[in-house]
Copies of this chain bind each other. A is one copy, B any other.
Amino acid sequence: MEALHIASIFLWIAIILLAARAALLLERVGQPPVLGELLVGVALGNLGLIGLNLAEPILKNEIIAFLAELGVVILLFQVGLESNIKEMRGVGVRAFLVACVGVIVPFALGTYVVGPWLLPGLGFNAYLFLGATLTATSVGITARVFQDLGIIHSPEAKIVLGAAVIDDVLGLIILAVVSAIVTAGSVSPLDIGWITAKAIAFLVGAIVLGQMLAPLLGRGLSAIHTGHGMKFTAAIAFCLVMAYLADLIGLAPIIGSFAAGLVLDPVHFRHFKDPQVVQDVRGYAETAPASKKRTLLSILDHHAERHVEDLIEPLGWFLVPLFFVLTGMNVQLEPLFNPQVLGVALAVTAVAFIGKAAAGLVAGPVDKSMVGWGMVPRGEVGLIFAATGQALGIVSDELFSVIVIVVILSTLATPPILTAIARRNHIAETAQAT
């Protein structure tokens, strides 16, 4: 494998960003942009099927992989910024229930039903891993679809986001337990307690400390230096440190950046304003008639302030498409051509869907199918489980292919289905209103 020259990576980034933008044309047929980015990725990643191995160096390139990972960290930071703790607390109990059901049902079905039934003779440990891979929701896809559809503030979105955070903690515990059972034959309750305590301490600590520190940080920084650059750097550094800390205790980095976004309330950054605009506003207000002054100032004032979300946005434009196109590129279509593997995979996928649909049922008085489908995407975490099992010699190549197909189908099916549900609801609402 030939390593890519730095300038070639520049070219690849340009190609991926332009292809992702072209994929936005899907919006015209009512599909969320993220589906276009995924499909462009699938197309680029499977050029090998028609004899073109152009994209292969990109798939193995650690710089592109890093940028993609940074992209999803930034995406969840943005999603966190658009939410706040009070809203999340309001759906806390329901999110917890959704997470628990969404972990227990697929795990039980995978380990005790479809595993032994469809893949007989693999041994209990393999079924354990299959069950474990079906538990973890990959929230990046769903968050992006909700963002694309403009419903990130809906109660359904809050429940899915909250449940995904709890899911990740549960996934961490399950991986530790399953690995311990497979390697040591048993698991110590003390170890489980310790892992759980660390994860909970991180989440609670981040939120409590963050709520205390964020106003101080905002005020302290504005005392040293004003300007958008400072605001940007403070926000992004906080996001990256939290992603690092989450990773340090074994959670996904995106959980850390989401928590960072949650505690960073835009209010704490109110001190920073664009001096040029403020000056223009003042200058004009001097000459305006008194009656109009107030309205004028409030409109201009609103635009004078570039919120931290606006400052982060261009970084998102640069990095987020890389994540979704790369996710698509990692979808290797070849396993789909093996009918036997495909058959098993479709059955396991159905279980993966059913398990999360069941989770939606406990979401309370909201659109249950929206919540259930929002929890469907499986991604990195499932693949990490599968790879861990493969490294331990428990997960066979065939089982690994099955898991990869489940990840593919759950990733590609979710955006159009969520869009259809959202549109149906909108039509229902419109019908009710008239």
Q: Is the CB of B7 within 8 A of A248?
A: yes
CB of A326, distance to nearest CB on chain B (Å): 14
Interface string of A10-46 (1 = CB under 8 A from B): 1101100110110011000000000000000000000
CB of A194, distance to nearest CB on chain B (Å): 20
Interface string of A294-314 (1 = CB under 8 A from B): 011001101110000001111
Chain B residues contacting A232 (CB-CB under 8 Å) are 314, 317-318
CB of A161 closer than 8 Å to a CB of B: no
CB of A216 closer than 8 Å to a CB of B: no
Chain B residues contacting A98 (CB-CB under 8 Å) are none
Could you tell me the distance between the alpha carbons of A236 and B233 in the complex, rounded to whole angstroms? 21
CB within 8 A of A312: which of B10, B25, B69, B314? Answer: B314
A162-170, A182-190, A238-246, A396-404: which one contacts chain B?
A: A238-246
Q: List residues 213-256 of chain A with CB under 8 A from any CB of chain B.
A: 224-225, 228-230, 232-234, 236-238, 240-241, 243-244, 246-248, 253
A115-123, A284-292, A416-424: which one contacts chain B?
A: A284-292
Q: Is the CB of A224 within 8 A of B314?
A: no
Chain B residues contacting A284 (CB-CB under 8 Å) are 295-296, 299
Could you tell me the distance between the alpha carbons of A6 and B232 in the complex, rounded to whole angstroms? 22
By secondary structure, the A interface counts as helix
Per the CB 8 Å criterion, the residue count for chain A at the interface is 61
CB of A52 closer than 8 Å to a CB of B: no
Q: Is the CB of B253 within 8 A of A10?
A: yes
Q: Is the CB of B237 within 8 A of A18?
A: yes
Chain B residues contacting A241 (CB-CB under 8 Å) are 10-11, 14
CB within 8 A of A236: which of B17, B70, B230, B304? Answer: B17
CB of A384 closer than 8 Å to a CB of B: no
CB of A62 closer than 8 Å to a CB of B: yes
Q: Is the CB of A10 within 8 A of B229?
A: no
CB of A277 closer than 8 Å to a CB of B: yes
CB of A8 closer than 8 Å to a CB of B: yes
Could you tell me the distance between the alpha carbons of A211 and B17 in the complex, rounded to whole angstroms? 23
Q: Is the CB of A6 within 8 A of B314?
A: no
CB of A315 closer than 8 Å to a CB of B: yes
CB of A280 closer than 8 Å to a CB of B: yes
Q: In chain B, what residue has the closest Cβ to A280?
A: B299
Chain B residues contacting A311 (CB-CB under 8 Å) are 314
CB of A32, distance to nearest CB on chain B (Å): 14
Q: In chain B, what residue has the closest Cβ to A11?
A: B244
Chain B residues contacting A289 (CB-CB under 8 Å) are 289, 292
Could you tell me the distance between the alpha carbons of A69 and B10 in the complex, rounded to whole angstroms? 10
Q: In chain B, what residue has the closest Cβ to A21?
A: B233
CB of A269, distance to nearest CB on chain B (Å): 14
Chain B residues contacting A244 (CB-CB under 8 Å) are 7-8, 10-11, 14
Nearest first, the 9 A-B pairs at minimum CB distance are: A7-B247, A14-B240, A11-B244, A14-B237, A10-B240, A314-B314, A7-B244, A10-B244, A63-B66
A-B contact pairs, 6 of them (CB 8 A): A6-B66, A7-B248, A14-B236, A232-B317, A280-B299, A289-B292
